[in-house]
Amino acid sequence: QQPVQSPQAVILREGEDAVINCSSSKALYSVHWYRQKHGEAPVFLMILLKGGEQKGHEKISASFNEKKQQSSLYLTASQLSYSGTYFCGTDGSGGSNYKLTFGKGTLLTVNP
Partner 1 sequence: SQTIHQWPATLVQPVGSPLSLECTVEGTSNPNLYWYRQAAGRGLQLLFYSVGIGQISSEVPQNLSASRPQDRQFILSSKKLLLSDSGFYLCAWNGGYSNQPQHFGDGTRLSIL
Rounded to whole angstroms, the Cα distance separating 89 from 99 reads 9
Task: Give 40 or 58: the residue with its C-beta nearer to partner 1.
Answer: 40
Rounded to whole angstroms, the Cα distance separating 91 from 30 reads 5
* Interacting residue with partner 1 among 49, 65, 74, 83 (CB under 8 A): 49
* Interacting residue with partner 1 among 10, 20, 22, 42 (CB under 8 A): 42
Binding to partner 1 by residue 93, rule CB under 8 A?
yes
Residue 11's beta-bridge partner residues? 109
Smallest separation (angstroms) from partner 1 to the CB of 51: 11
Strand 55-57 to 43-49 pairing: unpaired
